[in-house]
Amino acid sequence: MALPSVRSVMRVAIPFISVVVLLSMRLVGAGQDSGSVIPAESRPCVDCHAFEFMQRALQDLKKTAYNLDTR
C-alpha cells in the first residue's frame, strides 16, 4: 500500500483548513450581540484614527529625541 504524496495531501488539507477557519470566523462573528455595535455616526473615521496615531507617534519620537539629547 503506497502512502499518498505530500503534495496530494496538501491539496486536500489546505482547502479543508481554510473552510474550517472561515466557518469558525463566521460563528464567532454571529455570536456577538447586535446591541453592542457602535453606530457609525459616533465612531471616528479611519482618517481621524490615522491622524491621532501619527500625532502620538510624533510625540513619542520627540520625547525619545529629547531624552537622547539630554544624555
Number of H helices, E strands in the chain: 2, 0
- The C-alpha angle 47, 51, 54, rounded to 5 degrees, equals 140
pTM for this predicted structure: 0.36
Q: Which residues contact 52 (CB under 8 A, 6 or more apart)?
A: 44
3 to each of 6, 9, 10, 13, 29, how far by Cα in Å?
9, 10, 13, 15, 39
pLDDT tens string 30-66: 555 556 776 767 766 777 778 888 888 999 999 999 8
Task: Give me the pLDDT at residue 35, please.
Answer: 62
Task: Give me the pLDDT at residue 21, please.
Answer: 82
